[in-house]
Structure 1
Amino acid sequence: MDVSCFKAYDLRGRVPDQLNPELAERIGRAYVELTSARRVVVGYDIRLSSPEIAAALTIGLKAAGADVYDIGLCGTEQVYFATSHYSMDGGIMVTASHNPKDHNGMKLVGRESRPISSDNGLNAIRDRVSQPFMDAAVPGRLESLSVEADYIHHLLGYIDGTKINPLKVVVNAGNGGAGPVIDALSRWLPFDFVRLHHDPDGHFPNGVPNPLLEENRAVTAEAVLREGADMGIAWDGDYDRCFFFDENGRFIEGYYIVGLLADQFLQKVDGGKIIHDPRLTWNTQELVREAGGTPIESKTGHAFIKQRMREEDALYGGEMSAHHYFRDFAYCDSGMIPWLLVAERLCQIGQPLSSLIDARIEAFPASGEINRTVDDPARLLAVIEEIYGADAVSVRHVDGLSVEFERWRFNLRMSNTEPLVRLNVESRGDIALMKQKTSELLEEMARLDQPDTRRTATGVS
């Protein structure tokens, strides 16, 4: 059986050759056998293949003896919420996030919405699906579970309703699943929502929702300017990530949102721990310390961030890739909580979003993530460390290579799935220095990836 849809953190593949109802049913059976789950939440996104995949998954779960609680069309975070809030044994979301529209996949969690990834059970499920199964002596039941009321109530608990003033907000659901949640929240918030690509539509008439792609940002940016909005928000298909635009239509790099959310959380409590990834760090660290918190660096990736948050009992964790994690949300990521907190901050300060972001960009200008395809990523990192490490203030390997100097720093890390390296550079208040060092590193990387340089560096000639 083709099991190529099993990845490091979830399942994703083309339908029907890599993921289909037969495999989905077997995944359900294997999931129950290997987790001993007896009460499992199942939800699915707006993709055309999702209802059929979810139905087959449900058949497998029931055949293995688990009761299935169907929450229907939803976002990934609602599966996380339902699993933890109702004390279920596990949850499975049928989604391929921002992958092409002929793809689908699954995200699996256990009790307390703890992620199931390749290092704690996903590989075992992959290896089990090709073997024969026996039906349970007593099959499970199927029940419908409505989570909207409790979910919306939980979201609103992150903000102080007495401090919320009218705002105009452009919201772009990308024809994914975020639209109905915005409609439900709108009954409780004095916001004027300008809705773009609002209705869920698995045909993706406006393209697969992925706001990280520059070509997908213009429609939101233009609407912010046209409508005179206070900010814009765009989501990916299963809305576990949200992306921000200021009142000038400028796309805001996720790095600066991490610092803003950390500061907003710490304004509400007396100290606390904040988890951040190692790609870009100085802005987050400064804001957290100034607000009385403790910044803690973690390896990039949702499984690593969530585990570290549990270990540290951290309030919040953020990645520059627009994943934001919350202790009171079962340490899981949400694409709805972040924009509510940002809106609350705007209402509190009475200043535009650009004023908050401009100050942080000026203090810590950053390159943004730059990807390069190289022949041998591991060798490249080793040589770059030899070149830059000797004169550095510090060299760290929390995730890839982080090299820090007095006025600038960089992180260079390998992709888990492709022959890529990912570079991030930042400086202390010196945009010219940041740009200079970024160009220097890219030139050095290009030189080292030349065939003659590779042979010399590996001792061949």
Structure 2
Amino acid sequence: MLTRSMFKANDIRGTVTGARPEWDADGARAIGAAFVRVLGLAGGTFVLGRDMRTSGPELAAAFIDGATGQGADVIDVGLASTDQLWFASGHFSVPGVQLTASHNPSEYNGVKFCLADAAPIEPAQLVAIRKLAFDGDLSPAATPGTRTEADVLTAYAAHLHALVPMTGARRLRVVYDAGNGMAGHTAPAVLAPLNIDLIGLFTELDGSFPNHPPNPLEPQNLLDAQAAVRTHRADVGLVFDGDADRCFIVDERGEVVSPSLITALIARQELAREPGGTIVINTITSRAVNQVVARAGGRLVISLVGHTAVKALMAQHDAIFGGEHSAHYYFRDFWGADTGMLAALHVLALLGHSDGTMSDLVAKLPSFAASGELNSTVADVPGTLDRVDAAFAGRGTHDRSDGLTIETDDWWVNVRPSNTEPLLRLNVEARSEQQMVALRDETLAIIRGGTDA
């Protein structure tokens, strides 16, 4: 069973349980076979991992069955965070497949793909996989492929440690919230050997997410880490999403640090290491990053939102670092792929080598008032964008390259469809809180007028 709607712009996600499941093991088998056909992997090799979701073992086994039936050899690394799978793709220099639904609720599962060395899959290849999985001839190859197992966790941790020297850093007290996701698997291997006092929350792998949903973009899912930082008087908190490729930062006061400001901090650090380097951000990253990169002498490239688009520009421009508002952080030294754990190490190194607090580091950056991401369900996305466009006529520049962005020297508004969910997302930023609130409320009234949002 497969449904066409589960094929998204950058990956595949759909429900596997509940009243209306969207795919099952037979669907996973078809996707596995189509993946091998489209990438021409008969007689070749790819690496596969999965997260802790309860449907993972069955779907992974079916995907492998479909892939080996087409003559591909599979290196199965078992339980893995998504960035651990990107590492495995680079480590073995082969394409990769991760069975995960990232931050989606427990009834979901999905697939993320990459080419060899963690390069992003082409949009046309994802379209071809969908078409072949539904309509193609997937008769088996004359010679089936094989499945072997490999454990890459130790090598993954060693690679990250080599990229961020912690020698000479002061001892920190660090809270990390795994949210019952894959950080419970990777964080002990990466963080425990460091000179830190480590306090873990919800570290047991549990795909039912009994403590809170694995989506740190929702403020309520950060509350446990914020409280723990205050209770333990920690220097910093780290909150990972379900597949642990994203990491949110909480300062010593228990306040959440904007991912855009983390992008600015790491970008400045990377530009000090490589002056004149290129930094990639997306259309809704804070303009604070623009200012920091300009002051550091770097070059800025703007991407569409989404890991596939950012990775492609990272490779095209040989960028040293990239960051998104959603706490995806990309590193050239990590094959241009996104990794929340490496971003966390950079933050720990910056803090450990400073004599101030996390909030002190952030206070030195340019300041803007931001709305955060506000989601609305609308029946007519194109019509809604047109209404917002018309309402702001005569104000600022209007750009439709990634949803709708309206920008002046003092503020910007972006409204764009989600790549993974049936939602319209609003982000607003302005020089003052009052101006941001006025623009936010005006735009929401347009978006939600006459809807059930």
Assess if the C-alpha contact under 8 Å between 2:105 and 2:214 holds in 1.
no
Q: Does the 8 Å contact 1:370/1:422 carry over to 2?
A: yes
Q: Call closer, same or farther: CA 1:56–1:345 in 2, change over 3 Å.
A: same
Residues 150-196 of structure 1: CA deviation (Å, up to 9, x unaligned): 21121112212224221000011111111232211235310100111
Change (3 A) 1:356 1:58: same
List gaps (5 residues or longer) in structure 2. none
SS in 2 for 1:2: coil
Cα–Cα, structure 1 residues 49 and 443, in superposed 2: closer, same or farther, change >3 Å? closer
The separation in 1 between residues aligned to 2:139 and 2:378, in whole angstroms, is 47
CA shift at 1:239, angstroms?
0.3
Read off the aligned partner of 2:33 and give its amino acid letter. R
Letter in 2 for 1:6: F
| 8 Å Cα contact 2:314/2:322 also seen in 1 | yes
With over 3 angstroms needed to count, the CA separation of the structure-2 counterparts of 1:67 and 1:232, relative to structure 1, is: same
With normalisation by structure 1, the TM-score equals 0.90
Distance 1:40 1:264, change over 3 A: same
Structure 2 residue corresponding to 1:426, chosen from 419, 429, 438 = 429
**3-state SS, counterpart of residue 226 of structure 2:** helix
Q: Deviations over 1:282-341 (max 9, x none)?
A: 101001111121111111111111111111111111110111111121211111011110
Q: CA deviation at 1:94?
A: 1.0
Q: Which amino acid aligns with 1:303?
A: T
Deviations 1:437-458 (A, max 9, x none): 3233334545xx459xxxxxxx
Q: Distance in 2 between matches of 1:373 and 1:204?
A: 25
- The alpha-carbon deviation at position 357 of structure 1 amounts to 2.5
Asked if the contact 2:81–2:183 (Cα under 8 Å) also holds between the matched residues in 1, the reply is yes
Find out whether 1:279 has 2:284 as its counterpart. Answer: yes
* Match among 341, 345, 351 for residue 346 of structure 2: 341
Give the Cα–Cα distance (whole angstroms) in 1 for the partners of residues 345 and 331 of structure 2.
13
Equivalences for residues 401-412 of structure 1 within 5 A: 401-412=404-415
Amino acid of the structure 1 residue aligned with 2:434: A
Partner of 1:9: 10
User: Where does residue 50 of structure 2 map in the other structure?
Assistant: 44
Aligned equivalents of 1:204 and 1:416: distance in 2? 23
Post-superposition Cα deviations, 1:10-60, rounded to whole Å, max 9, x if no partner, equal 222222542222222222211111111210101111111211211121112
Q: How does 1:248-267 map to 2 (within 5 A)?
A: 248-267=253-272
Mark the CA change 1:191 to 1:410 in structure 2 (over 3 Å): closer, same or farther.
Answer: same
**Would the alpha carbon gap of residues 258 and 31 (structure 1) be closer, same or farther in structure 2, given more than 3 Å must change?**
same
Letter in 2 for 1:2: L
Would the alpha carbon gap of residues 193 and 21 (structure 1) be closer, same or farther in structure 2, given more than 3 Å must change? same
Q: Over aligned residues, Cα RMSD in angstroms? A: 2.1
Alpha-carbon separation, structure 1, partners of 2:375 and 2:443: 12
Question: 2:251 pairs with 242, 246, 271, which one?
Answer: 246
Match of 2:383 among 379, 383, 395: 379
Query: Residue 126 of structure 2 aligns with which residue?
Result: 122
The amino acid of 1:136's aligned partner reads: A
Identity across the alignment (%): 38
Change (3 A) 1:406 1:13: closer
Q: Paired residue for 1:61? A: 67
Q: Aligned equivalents of 2:421 and 2:201: distance in 1?
A: 34
CA distance in structure 2 between the aligned counterparts of 1:249 and 1:187, rounded to whole angstroms: 22
* 1:152 alignment partner AA: A
For 1:391-410, what aligned pairs fall within 5 Å after superposition? Answer: 391-392=395-396, 394-410=397-413
What is the rounded CA distance, in whole Å, between the counterparts of 2:105 and 2:391 in structure 1?
40
1:223 shift after superposition: 0.5
Query: Paired residue for 2:337?
Result: 332
DSSP 3-state at the match of 2:244: coil
- The answer to whether residue 210 in structure 2 is matched with residue 209 in structure 1 is no
Deviations 1:394-429 (A, max 9, x none): 33333122222232222222334666432222223x
Query: Residues 386 and 182 from structure 1, CA distance in 2 versus in 1: closer, same or farther, beyond 3 angstroms?
Result: same
CA separation in 2, counterparts of 1:202 and 1:416? 23
Q: Residue 389 of structure 1: CA displacement?
A: 4.2
1:59-138 paired onto structure 2 within 5 Å: 59-88=65-94, 90-116=95-121, 119-130=123-134, 131-138=136-143
Q: 1:416 to 1:107 in 2, by over 3 A?
A: closer
Cα distance between partner residues in 2 of 1:384 and 1:133 = 46
User: Matches of 1:54 and 1:36 in 2, distance apart?
Assistant: 20
